[in-house]
Amino acid sequence: MTLYTPLNEHDIFPTDQSLFQTRQVVTCNNRMMLVDSIDNGKYRIVQLLSTDPQDYISASLTPGEIISE
């Protein structure tokens, strides 16, 4: 079977399940994103979940940025 997707192979078929236990979907400033919990209400963005192309231009919403809820 062939999957045509922009996702990485390891995102579709993860090998380390413990990595995904700390990830969660949060809404910050009316934008949904997949994040890793760091501590004290702070998160590191893993993936922006938006249908608005303007959201992907914002430097503050790039993967790896630290946000607080």
Question: What pLDDT score does 23 carry?
Answer: 84
Question: What pLDDT score does 28 carry?
Answer: 86
Per-domain residue ranges of the chain: 23-68
C-alpha 55/C-alpha 2 separation (Å) is 30
* Cβ atoms within 10 Å of 35's Cβ, excluding its own: 24
Question: What pLDDT score does 64 carry?
Answer: 92
Question: Is the model's pLDDT at 67 over the cut of 60?
Answer: yes
Q: What is the pLDDT of residues 5-59, one digit of tens each?
A: 787 777 777 676 565 567 889 998 889 999 998 888 889 999 999 889 999 998 8
Question: What percent helix, strand, coil does the chain show, rounded to 5?
Answer: 25, 40, 40
More confidently predicted of 61 and 14: 61
pTM of the model: 0.67
* Cβ atoms within 10 Å of 7's Cβ, excluding its own: 9
